[in-house]
């Protein structure tokens, strides 16, 4: 039986005849000279449906997450496996924030002069209701980048961060039609990262989730912490996201994010949240925070307040947050890695995921920290471990698990 060819660029199934650009990434597929004519006929037939929604799911995340038997103290790592196997980026001279040579991946012409991806469809208050009636995609994502144009503390890196994450998710099999992007660069006002639009997008992400679904929420922008009034924070502060209109509409507190994004997750659904922002260690209010020292020893820290019986859990699914730093630390954007300003968390996450294999959560966290730490040292910012001047990516979860044996998948 003939099998349908995959695109060599984004690895999705081809929906166009040989010699035509891929409908998702515009890579031109050139078949072998001895290719069977039947394959060409099949592809020509499939071309009639080139605009259909993809239902491919190349990565199965519907795996059982067992609980370890004890978490009384620090665990000895079980071995790092293959880990991060590419050379570290080299930066010569300059400061941590000095520009380097122009990169080919994260530049302003990210999609290339002739390569354009179709923009994600616009969505408004009823978008997720309409979408749920169409083909159910098991891989869905919301990518939010806030630059705060005209603000004294603008963040130009946020757009580059979102573009970079968009490209990564396409490589990992997320259909372009199921990735919702919110930036100030979008022409559709429903995709501006306002407080209302962000909350609507998060509701869409979890709407009608089913067992086997893999969800991603990515955020790049300012973070904040405010005094806790509900009494569910150990440190007395709520963490918060700052939408573009936060001064008018208010910030989005971690309590609200947990209620919209975490609590509805049903059994068999996995959410990964990647937070490239300051004060983000417990931004999803998940029950368990993984404390890892530089030797690889770790323990799960229970975030449940003693007087709160229900805290941060799901409805049977699993939620994992990979954040840029601890609750008392700041997250850096820097051009030192690529030449264009990009978040240290975003860059290190993409580098490790793309260049590693047999990756566990422990490997991911260790190698991300190494990339950020090495660059800080290279630029003379050798802050003490866990200090407020350092930046250590954090891992939190709705369930405790063995981080050096649990495989990382999106």
Question: Rounded to two decimals, what is the model's pTM?
Answer: 0.69
Reduced to 3 states, what is the DSSP secondary structure of residue 139?
strand
Please state at what angle helix 344-355 crosses helix 361-378, rounded to 10 degrees.
130
> What is the C-alpha radius of gyration for the chain, rounded to an integer number of angstroms?
21
Q: Which of helix, strand or coil describes residue 101?
A: coil
**Catalytic residue flag (residue 25):** no
pLDDT of residue 378: 85
Nearest alpha-carbon partner for 163 in 302, 356, 371, 350: 350
- pLDDT at residue number 14: 64
* Domain coordinates in residue numbering, the chain: 1-52, 127-397
Q: How many angstroms separate the CA atoms of 402 and 67, rounded?
A: 8
* Residue 242 annotated to the active site: no
Residue 46 has a pLDDT of 40
Among the options 22, 144, 180, 222, which is catalytic? Answer: 222
- CA atoms of 404 and 188, how far apart (whole Å): 43
CATH architecture of 127-397: 3-Layer(aba) Sandwich (3.40)
pLDDT tens for the chain, 410 residues long, are 444 566 766 666 666 666 666 766 666 555 444 344 444 444 344 443 333 333 333 333 333 333 333 333 444 444 333 333 333 333 333 333 333 332 323 333 233 322 333 344 444 434 444 444 467 899 999 999 999 999 999 999 999 999 999 999 999 999 999 999 999 999 999 999 999 999 999 999 999 899 999 999 999 999 998 877 776 666 668 889 999 999 999 999 998 999 999 999 999 999 999 999 998 888 898 999 999 887 778 999 988 765 444 556 899 999 999 999 988 888 988 898 888 999 999 999 999 999 988 999 999 999 999 999 898 888 777 666 655 667 899 999 999 999 999 999 99
> What integer pLDDT is reported at residue 100 of this predicted model?
31
So what's the pLDDT on residue 298? 92
| Residue 271 contacts residue 217 (beta carbons within 8 Å) | yes
Task: Indicate which residue of 10, 25, 180, 278 is catalytic.
Answer: 278
């Amino acid at each position: 039986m003939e099998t349908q060819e995959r695109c060599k660029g984004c690895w999705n199934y081809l929906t166009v005849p040989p010699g035509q650009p891929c409908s998702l990434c515009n890579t031109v597929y050139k078949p072998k000279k001895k290719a069977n004519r039947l394959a060409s006929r099949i592809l020509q037939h499939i071309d009639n449906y080139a605009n259909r929604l993809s239902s491919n799911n190349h990565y199965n995340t519907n795996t059982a997450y067992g609980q370890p038997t004890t978490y009384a103290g620090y665990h000895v790592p079980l071995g790092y496996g293959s880990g991060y196997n590419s050379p570290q980026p080299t930066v010569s001279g300059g400061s941590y924030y000095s520009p380097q040579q122009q990169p080919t991946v994260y530049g302003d012409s990210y999609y290339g002069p002739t390569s354009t991806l179709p923009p994600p469809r616009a969505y408004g208050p009823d978008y997720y209701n309409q979408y749920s009636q169409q083909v159910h995609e098991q891989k869905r994502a919301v990518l939010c980048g806030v630059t705060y144009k005209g603000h004294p503390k603008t963040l130009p890196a946020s757009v580059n961060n979102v573009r970079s994450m968009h490209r990564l998710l396409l490589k990992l099999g997320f259909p372009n039609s199921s990735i919702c992007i919110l930036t100030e660069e979008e022409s559709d006002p429903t995709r501006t990262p306002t407080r209302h639009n962000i909350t609507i997008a998060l509701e869409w992400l979890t709407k009608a989730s089913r067992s086997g679904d893999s969800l991603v929420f990515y955020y790049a922008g300012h973070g904040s912490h405010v005094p806790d009034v509900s009494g569910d924070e150990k440190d007395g502060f709520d963490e918060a996201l700052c939408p573009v209109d936060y001064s008018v509409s208010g910030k989005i507190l971690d309590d609200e994010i947990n209620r919209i994004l975490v609590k509805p997750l049903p059994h068999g659904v996995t959410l990964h949240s990647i937070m490239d922002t300051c004060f983000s260690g417990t931004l999803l209010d998940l029950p368990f925070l993984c404390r890892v020292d530089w030797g690889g020893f770790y323990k799960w820290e229970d975030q449940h307040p003693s007087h709160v019986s229900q805290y941060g859990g799901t409805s049977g699914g699993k939620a994992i947050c990979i954040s840029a730093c601890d609750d008392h630390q700041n997250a850096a954007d820097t051009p030192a890695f690529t030449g264009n300003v990009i978040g240290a968390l975003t860059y290190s996450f993409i580098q490790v995921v793309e260049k590693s294999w047999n990756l566990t959560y422990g490997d991911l966290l260790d190698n991300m920290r190494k990339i950020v730490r090495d660059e800080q040292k290279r630029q003379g910012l050798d802050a003490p471990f866990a200090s407020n001047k350092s930046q250590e990516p954090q891992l939190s979860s709705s369930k405790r698990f063995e981080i050096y044996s649990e495989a990382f998948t999106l």
